[in-house]
Every structure is written in C-alpha cells, then in structure tokens.
Amino acid sequence: MKTRFHKICLVIGLVLVPLGLAAQGFFADSDGNLVRAHEAYLAGDLRTMADSLHKSLEDHPGDTTVRDNALALLEKAYETADGGDIPVNWRLPEEITTMRVSVKYSARNSGEYNFRVYGTTVHDKAIAQLQVVQAPDRVVLDKQAGIGEWYDQSKIDTLDHVFELQSRKSRVPVEAGLYLLNVTLADGTQTKGWFLLDAGVNSSATPRVDVPSTDQVFTTGNPQFSWQDFKSPQYQPYEGRSIWVGVSRAEPPNYDWDEVWGSFEAPPTQEQITIDSHGDPGSLPKLNNGHYSFFIDFHERKKFGDLTISRDSITVRNFQVAQ
C-alpha cells in the first residue's frame, strides 16, 4: 500500500524533476495545498486539484518554485484530460454565454503581445464591470477604471451581443501565474472567478502568408489570399485549433480599423480564400478601391472551467485595391 509520501514523490518525478525545480520549495509546502493538488491529480479529481492549485498560489505569491510546480502539474492534467476542460469551483453567470481569455502575438515591431478578454452575452450592455487582476493585486484590465480598451456591440446579422476588453500592445510576454476575474452585471450580480496561465500562452511565431505580399496592389475587388498551415512552437496535441481570416479598411493618414470581411474555420483546413461569398455573415462580397489590411489569426485553445484559454498567432499585411 502506497503511503502519502510515496504518492507525492511519484508526482515529483513526473513534474519537478523534468523542470529542474528545487524540491526545497515544494517540501516547504508539504503540508499544504500543493500536496493536496498532487494527491487529487493522482486520484483523477481534477476539480479538487485545480482548487488546491488556486489556494497554493494565493498562499505563496511570488514563489516561483511553487508557481512552476503548480503550472507543470496543470499541464500534466491537461494531457490526462486529453483535450477536455479542467473543472473549477466557479461558474460564469447565465447572462454571459461565452468568455475567452487570449494572448495575441504578432511579429510587428520586434514582437508585440496583447492580452484580452472577450465573448458574448444574452443581451446588450449586460456587463457593468469586468476586471482582471494578476494575483495578488496587479490590475491588468479594468473596464470602469479605463485600464484597457472596452468594446461592446450588438450584431444584427448574428443576433450576438459581443464584448471585448483588451490591453495595449507590449513587447513583454504575459506573465504566468494566477489571475483573478471580477465581473459585475448591469443588475448588480457579481461573480468572482479565477484562472491559471502558463508561460506557453505566449506564442513565439506567426503564420506565413504568401499572398498578399507587403503593399501588394490588386486590380480586382475579389482578390485571392493564400497562407501556410500553422502551429506555434508552444502548441500541445490536446489543444483545439481554429483560424480567423479578415480584411479591414485602413485608409491613411489615420488607418482606422474598419473590418469589412471575415471568415472563421475550426479546425483549420483551407490555405487560401477569395473575397466573395466565402465570407461570414455581414462580409462584403467585393472590395472597393482603397487601402486595406489582411490579417490571419491562428487560435490554439483549451478549456478552463467556463473559460476558453487561447494562444493567438497573427500576421498582418497591408495591400491596395485599384481596379
């Protein structure tokens, strides 16, 4: 019969040793939540594991050994779940039908990262406050305080009510660890959630686009674009994949972003597309003369409770239409 000590040593062999982590920090917490997380993992109880990881990271802010061990165990749990979600002890309110946490990476300006939370609601203006805090107290996004750019709109063509809160672009990758999610609905209902991000949420590469080339001029309003299938260096086999291809009007001197065409596919299969009826609802069937930006965004995603955690890799190319 395996003792509690032998069980924990087994998980140390799975998690700590490959990462080269010092066991000293682990055993400093040997009577606490990190041990319970490892035991729950061995027992197949991923919800208790996740809850214990949450408590452990709350109890040890700034302890990189505990953080790295916790996130390595989480990755093992995703492998065990084979693409299934990690269950947690909190739920989104029914008014929020989807919510995604994503880190976007583009290769512009030596690489830029962008943190955002977005999704859909059952009715317009449902969210009064949305806040994301990197534990213990670093505010990353805050709708009411104006930290990040807020956007919400009702889409008549799909009957969706969409929202988005995104940070400014930065050359600094998003930090791994525990994040707190605070949501207040228009009726005053509050939800306090949390999620875990590992360093792998930051992509380090972007898709290759063959057409358009930079500043290419098309003599047709129905140009054809082509690219190569893409998986980031951080991609894991248990993650789902999708792709968003879009075109936005971008006229100088302000280059205001005005999306006029888009197409979504999950999982990605195509490597070329033509501006015509292939677009999603609301897309223009033909482009008028002008300046545009073509963008392609590969998503690699996994579930964490009601949230989708997404790693986005983006390439943008400017082009013109002159018929």
pTM: 0.87
Per-residue pLDDT at 157 exceeds 80: no
**Residues with Cβ within 8 Å of residue 263, at least 6 apart in sequence:** 244, 245, 246, 273, 278, 279, 280, 283
* Contact call for residues 130 and 230 (beta carbons, < 8 A): no
- State the Cα–Cα distance between residues 275 and 321, nearest whole angstrom: 12
pLDDT for the residue numbered 75: 93
Sketch the domain layout of the chain as residue ranges.
4-81, 96-201, 209-321
Closest among 55, 96, 101, 46 to 75, alpha carbons compared: 46
The mean pLDDT of the chain is 88
Least confident of 21-25, 66-70, 131-135, 146-150: 21-25
* Domain 209-321, architecture per CATH: Sandwich (2.60)
Instruction: Compute the average pLDDT of residues 7-31.
Output: 44
Phi-psi region of 258 (alpha: psi -120 to 50; beta: other; left: phi over 0): beta
Which among 71, 307, 73 has a CA at the least distance from the CA of 200?
71
pLDDT of residue 177: 97
3-state DSSP assignment of residue 259: strand
**pLDDT score at 3:** 43
Residue 30 pLDDT > 90, yes or no?
no
64-81 helix and 33-42 helix, angle to the nearest 10 degrees: 20
Say how far residue 292 (Cα) sits from the centre of its chain: 26
Mean pLDDT of 104-111: 84
Range in 14-18, 244-248, 308-312 with the lowest mean pLDDT? 14-18
Spatial CB neighbours of 281, under 8 Å, sequence gap ≥ 6: 157, 158
Determine the Cα–Cα distance for residues 28 and 198; give it in Å rounded to an integer: 22
Residue 22 has pLDDT above 70, yes or no: no
Reply yes or no: is the peptide bond before residue 281 cis, omega within 30 of 0.
no
Element containing residue 68 per DSSP (H, E): helix 64-81
Using 50, 70 and 90 to split pLDDT, how confident is the model at 115? Answer: very high
CA R_g for the chain = 22
96-201 and 209-321, same CATH topology: yes
Over pLDDT 70: what percentage of the chain? 87
What is the CB-side half-sphere exposure of residue 55 using CA atoms within 13 A? 16
- Mean pLDDT in residue range 233-238: 95
Asked whether the predicted pLDDT for residue 230 surpasses 90, the reply is: yes
CATH classification (class only), 96-201: mainly beta
Sheet holding 224-227, edge to edge: 209-211, 224-227, 272-274
User: Rounded to whole angstroms, how far apart are CA atoms 192 and 40?
Assistant: 24
Mean per-residue pLDDT, 112-129: 94
User: Any bridge partners for residue 106, and if so which?
Assistant: 112, 314
**Arithmetic mean of pLDDT, 237-254:** 92
Q: Of 19, 61, 12, 65, nearest to 35 (Cα)?
A: 12
At residue 172, the pLDDT reads 94
Q: Which residues of 188-226 are buried (b: 16+ CB within 10 A; e: fewer)?
A: eeebebbbbbbebbbbebbbebeebeeeeebeeeebebe
Residue 2's pLDDT is what? 43
